[in-house]
Every structure is written in structure tokens, then in C-alpha cells.
Structure 1
């Protein structure tokens, strides 16, 4: 019997709700939990969860924020923070690798985390000619200032998340030099109402205006939204707007997406497409059949085989309690060496050797080289490597 896998590395409430609906419909499922408590192993080419192979997989439902270490400031010690972040990155890579392996094996995955990159998304949507705000991604304060003058009113947000969309006010403009260390997304400010469209396989499942307090730029910052008191108004999405949403989802390779629009009168502007949208609040308050549609889509997926040449089952995969701040690998030594090497490389230059130097080196060593890497040491140039 085929199984729907619910990949739930962050104990997400949408995953919990999905499991409840699968149970209600009597559909076989397997929940894969946090890699802190569970082992995602690979033995040669065989995936093993807590030491055991997966049952035959019909489809995978995945939702979990894997962009930020949930406890990045737990350790005041910089070395221990480094360890925490390196270990978190390793756990994230394992989860993403499992999703990638299953997708490559033909398993339907809703949705893969690789579809989240905002930089590529904005470029792709602009190339497709879709109605988006004027957009600039830059780490140049001068380019940022020129763009802000061009559009008049602007908003900004980080590339990797971690902060909501903000208006570029006078205070932000005074601090624009700080973006030299971190590229930011700048867009023209689009007035109007927030509209969220949930789309699956090119079909609109739900379309609602999200009512917010006057002056709210990002509905997620509205206290009512944050406390679960948001109100939604069902709307009939014009077919030409649905076609824009459909084209956006197809361009980005998203089977399921939550699309944010800004509506001003009869005009709609596309803001972004979310590959792992939050939709439970909309569903429970409006009756929109989002989870049911997702389950039906997964049941309709063509079953795929996670074939492997290895066939093994471990007797035990028990994991001890995590000892925070301790590590199997000495990351601090590695990073310190990287820092030293990077600092030296900043002082290095690659120079082409002239014919006389090339021939002289060939006579001395029997080898032919064309370039030398030169580093300043104690104020004197030193050749550190030849190519």
C-alpha cells in the first residue's frame, strides 16, 4: 500500500493539521520529524529513517522553515554559536537532500524548498512580463538611493527573510550605507488591499482579501493577523488575474503556491509567490478546501519507487540528548584557518610570467608554468604558488 509522507522537520502546525485530515480520511501516512530527534540516514543509495527503509511512497507533503537557525543567539560564546550554526546547516542539508532524492526518483513533492530563492524568483517573473512592482536588488547604497528617487516611495526587505517588508523612511535612508555588507530587495510601494490566492496545479483554490488596519504595509505585521484574529473576504478573481497567477506558478515550477497580490480598484499587481504558504487560518475561517485539494492531488500522483541497490535495516537508531555547544568536528579551527587564508588572499595577485621566466623555470624543474601568485609578506612580494 502506498503511503503519503508528511515531512515535518520543524513541528509545523500545517503538517499537524494535514496528518489529522489524513487520519480522518483513513489514508496511510508516515510522519518524518525533526532531525534533532530522528536520524535521516543514507546507506550507499538507501534512505533509512531511524534505521528503517521507508514504505512505498505515493507523494510527499513538506512544510518547514529551514532558512534560519531557530536558536541562533542561545550561546553568548562566539565559538559555540558557530558550532550551533554549522550543525543546523548540516541538518538542513540532510532534509533538503531527502526531498531532492525523492523528487529525482519521481515522487511528487509539495513543494521543494529549492523553489524559494527570492532573487531568482523576481528575475524569472520580470522576464515573463508579469505585472510586478519596480524592483532593485543591490548592495550599493548609491544605486539604492538612485532607485528610491526613481520610484518615489519604496519598500525594502532582506533577500533571505527574517524581517518583514518595511517602508523606506528617512531613518532607513540614513542607514543605507549598511547595505554594503548585505544585498537588499527594494521595490516601489504599491498602494491597495492585500489579496492572497492559493493555487494548486494551475487552479485557484481560494482568493481572499486580507483585511488589515489602515496604513499596514505587510499584513503579517498587523496585530490581528499575528494573534489569529485576521478577517478574510472571499473574492471572485478575474480570469485575467487568475491567468497571471497561473503563469507565475508555472514559471517558478510551483505546483502549490500562495500568491500575494495588491489590489487597487480593478488593478492587480503581483508581489510574490510563496512555495510554502501559510493557509490554515484561511481554511478554518472560510471553509476553503485547501487541505482536501492537496490530499486529492497527492493521491492522484503517479506512484514512484525509491529503488536502491542496498537493502539493510539497522537494529537501533536511538539518538542521545543533544549536547549544545559541543561538536564532533573542530569547526572553530577550520573557520579560523579559512579566515587567515581569506585575509592572505586579499593581498594576493595573479601575474602572468614572461617568456624568460617561463623558460628559466622550465630549465630548473622541467615543468612549464604560465602564472605566479604573489603575496605581500612583511612589505615584500613573495611568490607563493605557480600555475
Structure 2
């Protein structure tokens, strides 16, 4: 065992949370390895399986002794936001360009799914990250577990939307994320707006009143909680006041229970707290942003996360996993 365990960070070399966590790992005596899976770089992975086959490599770095990984992002075969770097290639090569990106994604996905087979720790498991792109599944699963969630409808049918919105305030968001949550307005219920639903379904939810709180959970423990005040439906769209806050034992228990049910080691749990003490869970984020919250934290989320990753790496190295 070396004095500086290597911790893998899967994401992008210039993504701020990858860099933020890498800096903290160095401060705590570990060596971060940011494993960049963005689509515009030469493919960096070498995977070996079977007797006599080589170890897995990230570029020229052997991954044999890397025991713990943090999964910030596995980018989809086509970019979720800015596709400009690939537009020329896609125009020129068409399906061939898409197929190449799909192959890259499949290799990364295979590698990450193999880590548990090698008794290595991935925070969070790749299958758990994918629930971010299946928000209706998360709501249905948590509801089945008896955890309070908003009434939810996913549809492309105008009549269903009108019926759902009758007598209640409603918000809507993409099924797979990638855009902000907005309040459903009368203009949204006009025929020309509803006609756009034919192109793709949208996720509609009952607007839950109350105080919005982000609860960070790691390995069955609450790391910190933050109250969020914003005039916007989605606090990410404008100015928001964030303050560290105390939560009740019941809310902490609810957040931990939801994470355990979903198989999440680390999560940012979004909760709405009613004036009557009730709590409704909005979402368990499998790859939460925490840098902004750390500016208001008594003990930073990143320091606690880095410490956990290092401790896990040390424990696994000690037993020769």
C-alpha cells in the first residue's frame, strides 16, 4: 500500500466538481485520477478480461491498484447540452459518428459495471446513476416504499395534462433532466403549446408548497442540510439564498431511508417541508452538486466525501481486495 492512495474520479477534466473533489483529495493526502469520458478526446480506456490478458488502463495509468472511484458523470453518446463540437462530424459521417460515440459509451458502461466484480467501490454504482435519467421510475419506486412524493404524470396527451392540472398547481420538467423545472401556466395549456407534446413526453408534478431543503447523505449518515429560499420554482434559474440548517430526526431518517431504498451511497436529497411538519421528497440526486452549498457549510461536504473515499481505499488495500 502506498502512502498516497489513488482515487478515480469519472467525469471530465474541466468539470468543476471533478476538479473540486480532486483538490480536496490532494489536501487529504490522496492522489486523484480524473478519468475523462467526454466524447471529443481520444478514447482512453483499455479493458482486459481473461487469463493472460493485460490489466485495465486509463491512458498509460494502470487501474489495477485503484480500489475506489467516484462517479461524477458518464456522458451520453450524444451531448446533453452543447453538441457543437460534434456537429460537423455528425453532418459528415452521419450514423457512423453516432455509432462511434455509442461504442465509447458501451465500453465505459461495461468497465464501470465490472468494478463490483473486482470488489472495487464505485460511488455511486453506475446503475444508480442511471436513475437520474429515469425520474418517473424513481418516483414510482419511492412511492412503493411508502415515501411521500408528489403526484406525478408523464404523458404526451393534452387531455391528460388538462385533467391533471384541473384544481391543482402543477410544475413540469424533462423526464431525463437537462432543463429547469417550471410552473405550468395558462399559456402552457393553449392548444399550440400542448400540440408540442406530440414530439416527446413531459413529466408533470403537483406543486408542493413549503420550505425547500437539500439534505446530503453519505453511507447512511447525514453530512449536512441546507435551506433554500428562492422566488423561482427552480432555484437554479435565479438568485437563491442558501443557509445551513438543522433538520428533524424524522426528515433525516426519511432521507436516509430513501437513499438506502434506491441503493445510493451518496446523494443530495431534495425535500419540501410543510408548516405542519410534513415532508415530501422531490428527488434523490445520484450525482449532486455540492460546491455551492459548501460555501455555507460548517463542515464542507467535499471534505467529508473525500475522507470517506480515502478511508474506503485504505481499508480495501489493507485486506488485499
Aligned positions of 1:128-143 closer than 5 A? 128-143=145-160
**Counterpart contact for 1:262–1:269, Cα < 8 Å:** yes
Confirm whether residue 292 of structure 1 aligns to residue 308 of structure 2: no
TM-score, scaled relative to structure 1 = 0.70
Q: CA deviation at 1:52?
A: 4.7
Q: Tell me how far apart the structure 2 counterparts of residues 144 and 57 of structure 1 sit (CA, whole Å).
A: 49
Q: CA RMSD in A?
A: 2.6
Confirm whether residue 103 of structure 1 aligns to residue 103 of structure 2: no
SS of the counterpart of 2:223? strand
Tell me the equivalent position of 1:53: 62
SS of the counterpart of 1:299? helix
Q: CA deviation at 1:3?
A: 2.5
In the alignment of these two chains, the number of paired residues is 298
**Counterpart contact for 2:12–2:18, Cα < 8 Å:** no
Q: Tell me how far apart the structure 2 counterparts of residues 254 and 285 of structure 1 sit (CA, whole Å).
A: 24
Tell me the equivalent position of 2:44: 39
Aligned positions of 1:330-369 closer than 5 A? none
Aligned positions of 1:244-323 closer than 5 A? 244-265=254-275, 266-301=277-312, 302-303=315-316
Q: Tell me how far apart the structure 2 counterparts of residues 306 and 156 of structure 1 sit (CA, whole Å).
A: 49
**Counterpart contact for 1:196–1:261, Cα < 8 Å:** yes
Q: CA deviation at 1:10?
A: 5.7
TM-score, scaled relative to structure 2 = 0.83
Taking structure 1 as reference, are residues 86 and 306 closer, same or farther at Cα in structure 2, changes over 3 Å only?
farther
Tell me the equivalent position of 1:220: 236
Q: CA deviation at 1:235?
A: 1.5
Tell me the equivalent position of 1:125: 142
**Counterpart contact for 1:208–1:235, Cα < 8 Å:** yes
Q: CA deviation at 1:291?
A: 1.6
Which runs of 5 or more residues in structure 2 are unaligned? none
SS of the counterpart of 2:67? strand
Taking structure 1 as reference, are residues 135 and 9 closer, same or farther at Cα in structure 2, changes over 3 Å only?
same
Q: Tell me how far apart the structure 1 counterparts of residues 206 and 178 of structure 2 sit (CA, whole Å).
A: 20
Which runs of 5 or more residues in structure 1 are unaligned? 225-229, 308-387
Q: CA deviation at 1:306?
A: 11
**Counterpart contact for 2:269–2:283, Cα < 8 Å:** yes
Which is higher, the Rg of structure 1 or of structure 2?
1
Q: Tell me how far apart the structure 2 counterparts of residues 88 and 123 of structure 1 sit (CA, whole Å).
A: 31
Taking structure 1 as reference, are residues 86 and 155 closer, same or farther at Cα in structure 2, changes over 3 Å only?
farther
Confirm whether residue 27 of structure 1 aligns to residue 30 of structure 2: yes
Taking structure 1 as reference, are residues 104 and 170 closer, same or farther at Cα in structure 2, changes over 3 Å only?
farther
163, 168, 173: which one pairs with 1:157? Answer: 173
Q: Tell me how far apart the structure 2 counterparts of residues 95 and 171 of structure 1 sit (CA, whole Å).
A: 43
